[in-house]
Amino acid sequence: MNIEKLLMTKDREKLYIFLIFIGIVLMINLIFSNINLKLDLTRDRVFTLTPVSKRIVQKLTEPLTVKVFYTPNLPAPYNGYERYLRDILAEYKANSRNNNFRYEFVDLKKNPDAPAEYGISPVQIRVVEKDQFQAKKAYVGMVFLHADMVEKVHEISSTEGLEYKITSIIRKMINKVYWIHALKSNVKVHLFASSNIPLPEVATLEKTIESKVASLSNKTMGKIEFKYFDPFKDREAEKRAKEYGVPDVPWNSFVDEKGNNVPAGKGYIGVVVSYEDKARLINLLDVNFLGSYFIPSLDNIEETLQSAIDNLIRVNPKVGYITGNGEPEPWDYGYGYNSEYYVEFASRFADYINQDYELVPISLKKEKIPLDVNALVIADPKFPMADYELFQIDQFIMSGKPVAFFVPGLFFPIQDPMRMQGGELPRAVKAQSGVEKLLEHYGIRINTNLILDNVCNKYQMPKEQGGGMIPITYAPLIEQENILQNNQITKKIKGMVMFKASSMEPIESRLKENNLTFTPLIKSSKEAWEVGEGVSLHPLFLQSGVNTKFSQYTLAGIVEGPFKSYFQGKEIPKSTISTNTNKISQKTLPVAEKKTNFIPEAKNGRIVVFSCGELIKNSVIGDDEFAPNVILARNVVDWLVGDTDLIQIRNKGLSYNPLKKTEQITKEIIRWTNMIGAPVIILLMGLILLRLDLIRRNRIKEQFSK
């Protein structure tokens, strides 16, 4: 009986111990359920939020909700994207205050219509089913909801740059709440649509636009108002349409589908979004391949209106972009030409910069640099600037504001069309914009040369022309070892391309005299050489030879310190700007000409110089926002403005991540180790095992012999 009681007591003790153990496990899970712990062993800590992201998400004072629409059980790589997204959203939530960051993975089986309600469309992905590649529609998007505002990410097609996208959206929404509260008056949306335009959609256009504006107004505390103007019936409306640049639509007489004669006429159609003295025009017309006008689908007009409103109300720092001397145009796409030079474009650069700042074109021939411009970009000017234009740039620097120069030493003018048809390419001439003498005064000499490099891009020749790869030596590939890694502009950029670059060199005597500091950012490889004026860009004639003298050249650098004006001790140039075309108030006059006419010195100036004019053009800047050259261009502007918060996040998303360069001797050692090392190791292991077996046999033999 006592034994039975003892056994029962022991069983009860075991049960208690088991229950206590379960309780401890549950308590540990409960404690750590709200703590996001992980071990990130990656070199750049790509799976860990940066301090900037943590700081921005902590600024949320109202709830922000992320709704993720992700089709379950997707194949690789999309299942990996989903897992990464869950991890990173959990980190944002863990670092937010008062649970102001929330997220939800919407169950699409229970709520199949939820994505459409937020304007998220399915995307087509490729999957392997039954040993075949098949197309499948899936949802891989998310929306951000904050204070009646909605931001969408339609497709999560990579983990690269995902933290940058999320943090940028959070920062944008926080700023937008502030901007809306700070509005002094309503944003006006005016629809100009002539009722005589013979298009059926015109009759319903007012109702459609008004409903979209009402929806936007509800999301912005009623700060948007709508008004319709008919320029056909109202002469005053026609006058206003012309002032805003609303496109006119002419048509010839024709017979419509019902057999009615439609007389020739003209009308105006477009939407103008305005706030105070700023306005944006939204074009509503398009032309088909037959040359006929039509109004395309207005399904996305609300997003277009929202984008225009955001651009108007945001209080972003202004970055000036100098134009008027053959610089690449910042707003158009493609290529063109005039009688003296190819018209090139930097519209992608402008699009990227306008996401965070306001890029303002400034023609120094017609206007002065406004006071509220925080920085300047000067890109590949091809023609001489007047002294007064150079004076404005100089005084901008003397006022303590930074400038980025993208200035080569050579210029390739357009050839006579007859000679071009004969296959003759443009030949390089010395660049003479005048910016070069400013830079020389500041301690940087842009050399009159073209840098060629054996470490370069290569072009695949067509089979009809013999095939093979041709080195494009005037497009050097810059490797990580030649990019300064401890500067904010170039940090973590592991490789990039230059194009038609010249070399630069610091003028040590000038730098020492003015107590300036020069920091080289980018260099060519040690297999580079230079050619001078008269060279044409024919790859076959730009190859290295036996007598080529190789060297390493500096292609970009920063100058900082107490700058002295180029015009100190010289006659101050007179303004060449007409008073009729430059009706600017005292508030917008440049620092150099308000009250004091001349600033002789900048106590702490900064300029960054690239001896390459192609870096911000569409020929180099592509659609991949995480390509190294795009990252570099955006980092430059961040550095100019002094807003470097997003640089470290953006650099985590670099899509170009090459392997480290291995010396040839190391490659040979690895190759021979793989060929000979493995058999030698196996042979040694066999000998060791044989020796151990002999020892064991001898030991057994000795035991039995006794």
Answer whether residue 547 shows pLDDT above 90: no
DSSP string, 24-87: HHHHHHHHHTT-------STT-TTS--HHHHHHHTT--S-EEEEEEE-TT--TTHHHHHHHHHH
Distances (CA, A) of 509 to 231, 512, 667: 66, 5, 45
The pLDDT tens digits of the residues spanning 593-611 come to: 443 478 999 999 999 999 9
User: Which residue from 603, 631, 595, 600 is spatially nearest to 616, judged by alpha carbons?
Assistant: 631
Nearest of 577, 568, 511, 515 to residue 367 by alpha carbon = 577
**What angle do helix axes 162-182 and 301-313 make, rounded to 10 degrees?**
70
pLDDT, tens digit, 9 for 90 and up, residues 42-73: 766 777 888 999 999 999 999 999 999 999 88
AA identity, residue 581:
T
Phi and psi angles of residue 390, each rounded to the nearest 5 degrees, phi first: -65, -35
pLDDT at 332: 62
Q: Are the beta carbons of 369 and 323 closer than 8 angstroms?
A: no
pLDDT at 594: 42
Residue 149 confidence class, pLDDT cut points 50, 70, 90: confident
Q: Which residues of 555-581 are buried (b: 16+ CB within 10 A; e: fewer)?
A: bbbbbebebbbbbeeeeeeeeebeeee
What pLDDT, on a 0 to 100 scale, did the predictor assign at position 574? 86
Q: Check whether 32 has a pLDDT greater than 80.
A: no
Residue 704 neighbours by CB under 8 Å, 6+ apart? none
**Residue with the larger pLDDT of the pair 99 and 219:** 99
**DSSP at 588:** G
Res 455 pLDDT > 90? yes
Report the alpha-carbon distance of residue 55 to residue 58 in Å, rounded. 5
Residue 592 has pLDDT above 60, yes or no: no
d(Cα 524, Cα 130) in Å, to the nearest integer? Answer: 51
Q: Is the pLDDT of residue 36 over 70?
A: no
> Do the beta carbons of residue 446 and residue 502 sit within 8 Å?
yes
Q: Residue 205 pLDDT > 70, yes or no?
A: yes
Mean pLDDT, residues 564-592: 65
Strands (E), 454-597: 456-460, 469-479, 495-497, 504-506, 517-523, 528-531, 554-564
Comparison of pLDDT for 373 and 657, the residue scoring more: 373
Q: Say what the pLDDT of residue 583 is.
A: 39
Query: What pLDDT, on a 0 to 100 scale, did the predictor assign at position 701?
Result: 82
pTM of the model: 0.77
CATH topology of domain 51-182: Glutaredoxin (3.40.30)
- Distance (Å, whole) CA 439 – CA 559: 10
d(CA 271, CA 281): 6
Asked whether 53 and 655 are in contact (CB, 8 A), the reply is: no
Mean predicted confidence (pLDDT) in 292-318: 83
Return the SS3 of 192.
strand
Closest of 442, 427, 434, 428 to residue 504, by C-alpha: 442
Q: What are phi and psi of 9, to 5 degrees?
A: -65, -45
Q: Are 161 and 625 in contact (CB under 8 A)?
A: yes
Helix (H) or strand (E) holding 252: none
35 versus 502: which is more confidently predicted? Answer: 502
Burial status of residue 100 (CB atoms within 10 A of its CB: 0-12, 13-18, 19 or more):
middle
* Separation between Cα atoms, residue 358 and residue 451, nearest integer Å: 34
Q: Do the Cβ atoms of 619 and 399 come closer than 8 Å? A: no
* pLDDT value, residue 342: 57
Q: Which amino acid is at 52?
A: V
- How much is the pLDDT for 129? 66
**Peptide linkage before 77 cis (omega within 30 of 0):** yes
Mean pLDDT computed over 505-518:
95
pLDDT at residue 6, as a whole number: 53
The pair of structure tokens assigned to 544 is 């290295």
Distance CA 571, CA 223 (A): 52
In the prediction, which pLDDT does 582 show?
41
Locate 143 and state its tokens: 């929306």
Q: What angle do CA 465, 468, 473 make, to 5 degrees?
A: 105
In this predicted structure, the answer to whether residue 334 has a pLDDT above a threshold of 80 is no
pLDDT of residue 335: 47
Collect all residues with Cβ–Cβ distance below 8 Å to 117 and sequence separation of at least 6: none
SS3 at position 678: helix
Contacts of 15 (CB under 8 A, 6+ apart): none
267 and 197 Cβ atoms separated by less than 8 Å: yes
**For residue 421, what pLDDT is reported?**
54
Q: What is the pLDDT of residue 339?
A: 44
249 versus 593: which is more confidently predicted?
Answer: 249
Q: Do residues 139 and 108 make contact, with C-beta atoms less than 8 angstroms apart?
A: yes
Residues with Cβ within 8 Å of residue 545, at least 6 apart in sequence: none
- Judge whether 567 and 398 are in contact, CB under 8 Å: no
Residues 613, 504 contacting (CB under 8 angstroms) = no
Q: What is the pLDDT of residue 581?
A: 44
Identify the pLDDT of residue 99.
92
pLDDT of residue 417 exceeding 80, the answer is no
What local confidence, expressed as pLDDT, does residue 628 receive? 92
In 223-297, which residue ranges form alpha helices assigned H by DSSP? 235-244
Average of pLDDT values for 518-542? 92
Cβ-proximal residues to 596 (8 Å cutoff; 6+ apart), any chain: none
375 pairs with which residues across the strands? 319
The token duo for 392 is: 């404005």
CA dihedral angle for residue 674, residue 677, residue 678, residue 679, rounded to 10 degrees = 130
Q: Provide the pLDDT confidence category of residue 663 given band limits of 50, 70 and 90.
A: confident
**pLDDT in the model for residue 648:** 78
Over range 568-580, report the average pLDDT. 79
pLDDT band at 144 (very low <50, low <70, confident <90, very high): very high
Query: What pLDDT sits at residue 587?
Result: 39
Average pLDDT, the chain: 86
Looking at residue 596, its pLDDT comes to: 43
Q: What is the average pLDDT across 236-265?
A: 85
Calpha distance 379→323 (Å, rounded): 9
Give me the pLDDT at residue 456, please. 93
Give the pLDDT confidence of 92-119 residue by residue, as tens digits: 999 999 999 999 999 999 999 999 999 8
Q: Which fold has domain 187-313?
A: Glutaredoxin (3.40.30)
Give percent above pLDDT 90 in the chain.
Answer: 47
599 phi/psi in degrees, rounded to 5: -110, 115
Q: Examine the pLDDT at 536 and tell me if it is beyond 90.
A: no
Asked if the model's pLDDT at residue 31 lies above 70, the reply is: yes
| CA nearest to 567, candidates 599, 604, 608 | 599
pLDDT band at residue 5 using 50, 70 and 90 as cut-offs: low
